Amino acid sequence: MHNCVLEYLLNTVYIYREMSYNKPNYHKIPFSSVLLLAAAADAFSRPNLPFTKSAFIPTGIATATPPTTTSLTAAPNRLEENVEGVVYVNEKCINCAACNNFAPSVFGRADRARAHIVYHQPETKEEILDARAAMAACPVAAIRSETLAQRRHRMSSENDKQVAEDSWTNQDEYLVQQMALSPKVNGLELPFPRPLLYHAATTPSKSLKTHLSNLYNIGYHNEMSFGATPYLLEATVQGKLAWIMVDTPKFGKSAKDAVTRLTGPKGPDYLLLTHVDDTAGHEKWAEEFPSLKRIFHLGDGGRFNWLGDTSLETDVEILLPPPKRESPLLPTQDESSAPFHAYAMDGTPLPNDWHQTFPDDPDNDVVILHTPGHSPGSITLYKKPSAEEPGVIFTGDHYAFSTKSSRMSGFPRYGNNLQVQANSLKGLLRLDWDVVAPGHGHPRNYSLESDKEALKRKEMQEAIEDLSN
């Protein structure tokens, strides 16, 4: 009875929150409230647990690194939509799509379950490594591997248990061992950091041929940012090499190790927060790395700071001012004017002709663009192309890949001002880039496509039309 009421309440709150996301006229419901209610429902649904504070920690959410085996008594249920086999997704899935990003041949969306599931068990070495990366990236530890003992336990009749035992293969045993995240179990390297585009070109068969130097997925996605993708890149800033983290991984030892394996113990120089939704845990990263400079746009302050995290507006080292009211969104089709308000990495607003000087500036590889629409303070990091490598845009939720529609999207359901966002997207087409590193879904690499400009324009146009309808 309790459980029914709580689940009803949870669903209602969740739906309301989805409706209200970034809409200024709705009262904002922090994602943490949804998680708390989810935890309450979870606790009530497991009567064997004592009713203590720890019972309110949702199963799986508390662990930074998912265990390779699960408790037989308290394990969340395996979603029945999974294909039978060792690797599976359980009912804790929040449908963030991070798994599909790393292992698209293994994990896919199951709309009926409102979750992602395993639709193909990993077989090749490459698929296993991809699935293992997805397991480490999953923000709620919903991806598990099942041992023979666990499979027997899942079966209700003695006959089914016997069938499970008889059908268990050496490949199953191998898969359990290979999926373990600890290198001590299988000798495999930790899955992160992982070069961006390892398996993610627009044309999958071409993807293995390319990845960019010093540009990485960090993994360990944060459930409080709805599984948004964190990145780490090295770029020249004011004449010196600097490490820039884009959005926050879930703070913990695994993520910290993934970061410092690249940056050394000092950590990154900058943490660019693309928008208010993807800022969870920023203060912990700042505490861990005292020289870290966080960057946040004040357009997401005040009533648009739906998290209620005022430290974003007071403690962040580099606060980008919103453009003055008398300086509206710059025209995007006039080639003589800049497509965006832009800022240097130290937060200095750049003059309106920045787009003419930046391509030849030897001291700076990156610039921050104000790309409002999804939220008033959304920003995009633009890394210009070099002689060897294509330009990259780190777009947060401004322009990302939706596994629901299987194409690029501006997520119109969640936008703050869709007209402004459509205008911002058009501006991006005026810059020289071939790779999109989005906050959700697959990166896009157009550099290997024969008619890349046409494909970029077509995918962007589809996203703009979604925003306009």
Contacting residues toward ligand SF4, per CB under 6 A: 89, 93-99, 107, 115-116, 138-140, 142-143, 227
Per DSSP bridges, beta strands 231-237 and 240-246 are antiparallel
436 within 8 A of 443, measured Cβ to Cβ: yes
Angle, alpha carbons 185-191-197 (nearest 5°): 155
Residue 204 has φ and ψ, to the nearest 5°, of -55, -35
Total residue count of the chain as it appears in this document: 469
Q: Specify the residue, 94 or 435, whose C-beta has the smaller distance to ligand SF4.
A: 94
B/e letters for 382-397, b = 16+ CB within 10 Å, e = fewer, are: bbbbeeebbbbbbbbb
CB-wise, 139 or 268, nearer to ligand SF4?
A: 139
Q: Which pairing describes strands 240-246 and 270-272: parallel, antiparallel, or unpaired?
A: parallel
Cα within 13 Å of Cα(74), Cβ side: 13
Nearest to ligand SF4 of 66, 339 (CB atom): 66
CB of 79 to ligand SF4, least distance (A): 9
Residue 106 DSSP symbol = T
Q: Which helix (H) or strand (E) holds 162?
A: helix 158-167
Residue 41 token pair: 């429902």
> Judged by CB, which is closer to ligand SF4: 220, or 382?
220
Of the two residues 222 and 332, which places its CB atom closer to ligand SF4 in the complex? 222
Rounded distance between C-alpha atoms, residue 261 and residue 316, angstroms: 25
Q: How far is the CB of 143 from ligand SF4 (least distance, A)?
A: 5
Q: How far is the CB of 225 from ligand SF4 (least distance, A)?
A: 12
Q: Which two tokens stand for residue 272?
A: 């660019």
158 Cβ neighbours under 8 A, 6+ residues apart: none
Q: Which is nearer to ligand SF4, 93 or 218 (CB)?
A: 93
Which distant-in-sequence residues (6+ apart) come within 8 Å of 178 by Cβ? 128, 132, 186, 188
Nearer to ligand SF4, 135 or 242 (CB): 135
Q: How far is the CB of 257 from ligand SF4 (least distance, A)?
A: 20
Nearer to ligand SF4, 110 or 196 (CB): 110
Q: What share of the chain is helix, strand, coil (3-state, %, to 5)?
A: 35, 15, 50
State the residue for tokens 């009912």.
Answer: 91
The least distance separating ligand SF4 from the CB of residue 100, rounded to whole angstroms, comes to 7
CB of 62 to ligand SF4, least distance (A): 15
CB of 412 to ligand SF4, least distance (A): 21
Q: Minimum distance from CB of 138 to ligand SF4 (Å)? A: 3
Q: What is the nearest approach in angstroms of ligand SF4 to the Cβ of residue 338?
A: 37
Please say which residue, 116 or 294, places its beta carbon nearer to ligand SF4: 116
CA distances for 118 relative to 103, 107, 221, angstroms: 10, 5, 19
